[in-house]
């Protein structure tokens, strides 16, 4: 008689805190789609879902690398020409004191490896609130409790320095700074970068500078890298092809480790142990890194023109719509308006999907100050789609709360 496994297999208890609001809403959207409605997706941070295309010279580079037989494993840190190109780009951004560069399967894997290589049980890491949920998911996996600091809406969503100071404990090992920010679209001031660097110096923190959107500054101001401002501080700068180079499905990200050599070298050895253990990042796609960073950047002109027009349309709607207010995004492609409603923002967002077939993500899915309510808009869709979606959101606000 063959035996059958009947007992339930429960997942690890540490996954309790893993939340990914964006994907969780998908169940509601599925219901609505099954009823035959088309959903307007203002929730997906993937430019390729909209009218953006991967630059053809990058596709050609990957195609060529496959034809040239680059289909085996690569070195664990990445192929030489890619690493040199990332170093060159870092130098152009004024990052000095670089001790290591490594290529990973998206920034998602850089984050996974860098946090796992740093944190012991009992340690904590400062992450922003609202946050990009990858960080809290990785911390849950490591059984490391959340220690969040607020971004300050009344100060253009800049990090709240007083809150950061209050939250630093003797076991705080580092701080995550997402700049330009997801979900608020804010860009840090030089003064803010300097102040955070000073706190890091004083408390021996590693700074994780998630700069994956650094070329998507909407109004053309230059982006200032944290590692440039803090060349002596241990900083891991995250970058990749997903956003700036419109190739999220290739899963190519990287980390740049900089700072005082003596301080950062043992940590870099730890990172490299984990890099070796997982063999390597996607091999052929790494050959797009050099042409991306050193080749024509023409696509960025068009991308930023679209983002500027769609950001402006979004802000106009926010200004004209009762119950809605929003800090103008300056980078990336997200807006994070506050809504003045008498119920949870999650209920509002679920009803928006059910009744108006528009999908945004509730602020409580990213974390927010108690008593405040928000939703995140991805303003990647074209102007016509955005206009239709915004009219539907305004209708629901009026019908439900007036
Ligand atoms: C702030 C931030 N960091 C990291 C990522 C993940 O990037 P990747 O596609 O390189 O894994 C995203 C994706 O949306 C993001 O918004």
Tell me what pLDDT residue 1 has. Answer: 62
User: pLDDT tens digits for 37-60?
Assistant: 999 989 989 999 999 999 999 999
Out of 78, 103, 111, 132, give the residue to mutate to test ligand 1, the one with the largest number of ligand atoms within 8 Å of its CB: 132
Measured in Å, residue 80 CA sits from the centre of ligand 1 at 24
Q: What is the distance between the alpha carbons of residues 238 and 197, in angstroms, rounded to a whole number?
A: 17
- pLDDT for 14 beyond 90: no
Using one digit for the tens of pLDDT, what is the confidence trace for 160-192? 999 999 999 999 999 999 999 999 999 999 999
Q: Average pLDDT, stretch 290-296?
A: 98
Q: Find out whether 248 and 212 touch, Cβ atoms under 8 Å.
A: no
- Interval between CA 387 and ligand 1 midpoint (Å): 27
- Of ligand 1's atoms, which has the minimum distance to the CA of residue 242? 9
Pocket of ligand 1, candidates 107, 253, 285, 365: which has the most ligand atoms within 8 Å of its Cβ, to mutate?
107
Neighbours of 94 (CB within 10 A): 13
Q: How many angstroms is it from 212 CA to the middle of ligand 1?
A: 7
CA 160 to ligand 1 centroid distance, Å? 23
Whole-number average pLDDT of the chain: 95
Please give the C-alpha separations between residue 101 and each of 94, 253, 291, 350, in angstroms, as whole numbers.
Answer: 15, 11, 17, 42
pLDDT tens digits, 351-380:
999 999 999 999 999 999 999 999 999 999
Distance 322 CA to ligand 1 centre (A): 32
Alpha carbon distance 227, 98 (integer Å) = 9
Tell me how far the alpha carbon of residue 205 lies from the centroid of ligand 1, in angstroms.
22
Burial of 342 (0-12, 13-18, 19+ CB in 10 A): exposed
As for ligand 1, residues whose beta carbon falls within 6 Å of it are 45, 106-108, 132, 134, 178, 182, 210, 212, 240, 242, 248, 253
Q: Is the dihedral of CA 233, 239, 243, 244 positive or negative?
A: positive
Q: Which of 17-21, 89-93, 158-162, 273-277 has the lowest mean pLDDT?
A: 17-21
> Of all atoms in ligand 1, which is nearest to the CA of residue 252?
10
Task: Report the alpha-carbon distance of residue 77 to residue 257 in Å, rounded.
Answer: 12
Q: H-type helices in 246-382, by residue range?
A: 261-277, 289-294, 298-320, 345-351
Distance 35 CA to ligand 1 centre (A): 32
| Whole-number pLDDT of residue 362 | 94
Which residues of 106-205 form beta strands (DSSP E)?
124-129, 146-152, 158-159, 172-178
Q: What is the pLDDT of residues 237-275, one digit of tens each?
A: 999 999 999 999 999 999 999 999 999 999 999 999 999
- Which residue of 104, 108, 208 sits with most ligand 1 atoms within 8 Å of its CB, as the best mutation to test the pocket? 108
Structure tokens at 303: 């991308």
Report the percent of the chain where pLDDT is more than 70.
99
Assessment of whether the complete model's pTM goes beyond 0.85: yes
Question: Distance of CA 289 to CAs 48, 69, 82, 101, 109, Å?
Answer: 18, 17, 5, 13, 17
Task: Give the model's pLDDT for residue 87.
Answer: 98
Which amino acid residue places its CA nearest to atom 14 of ligand 1? 45
* Ligand 1 centroid to residue 397 C-alpha, Å: 31
């Amino acid at each position: 008689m063959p035996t059958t496994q009947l007992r339930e297999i429960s997942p690890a208890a540490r996954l309790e805190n893993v939340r990914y609001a964006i994907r969780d809403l998908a169940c509601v959207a599925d219901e609505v789609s099954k009823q035959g409605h088309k959903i307007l997706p203002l929730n997906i941070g993937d430019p390729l879902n909209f009218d953006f295309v991967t630059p053809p010279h990058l596709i050609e580079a990957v195609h060529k690398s496959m034809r040239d037989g680059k289909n085996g494993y690569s070195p664990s840190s990445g192929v030489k020409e890619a690493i040199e190109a990332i170093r060159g780009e870092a130098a152009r951004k004024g990052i000095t004191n670089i001790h290591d560069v490594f290529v990973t399967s998206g920034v998602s894997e850089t984050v996974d490896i860098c946090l796992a290589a740093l944190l012991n049980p009992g340690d904590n890491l400062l992450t922003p609130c609202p946050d990009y949920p990858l960080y809290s998911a990785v911390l849950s996996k490591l059984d490391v409790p959340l220690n969040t600091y607020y971004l300050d809406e009344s100060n253009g969503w800049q990090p709240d320095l007083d809150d950061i100071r209050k939250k630093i404990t003797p076991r705080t090992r580092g701080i995550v700074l997402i700049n330009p920010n997801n979900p608020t679209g804010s860009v840090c001031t030089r003064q803010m970068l300097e102040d955070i660097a000073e706190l890091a110096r004083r408390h021996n923190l590693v700074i994780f500078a998630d700069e994956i959107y650094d070329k998507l500054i909407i109004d053309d101001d230059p982006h200032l890298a944290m590692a440039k401002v803090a060349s002596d501080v241990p900083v891991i700068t995250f970058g990749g092809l997903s956003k700036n180079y419109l190739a999220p499905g290739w899963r190519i990200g990287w980390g740049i480790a900089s700072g005082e050599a003596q301080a950062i070298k043992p940590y870099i050895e730890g990172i490299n142990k984990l890099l070796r253990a997982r063999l390597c990042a996607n091999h052929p796609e790494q050959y797009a890194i050099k042409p991306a960073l050193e080749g024509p950047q023409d696509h960025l002109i068009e991308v930023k023109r679209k983002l500027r027009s769609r950001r402006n349309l979004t802000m106009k709607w926010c200004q004209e719509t009762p119950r809605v207010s929003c800090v103008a995004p300056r980078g990336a492609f997200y807006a994070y308006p506050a809504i003045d409603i008498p119920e949870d923002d999650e209920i509002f967002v679920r009803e928006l999907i059910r009744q108006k077939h528009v999908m945004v993500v509730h602020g409580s899915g990213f974390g927010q100050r108690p008593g405040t309510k928000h939703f995140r808009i991805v303003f990647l869709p074209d102007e016509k789609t955005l206009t239709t979606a915004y009219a539907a959101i305004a209708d629901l606000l009026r019908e439900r709360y007036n």
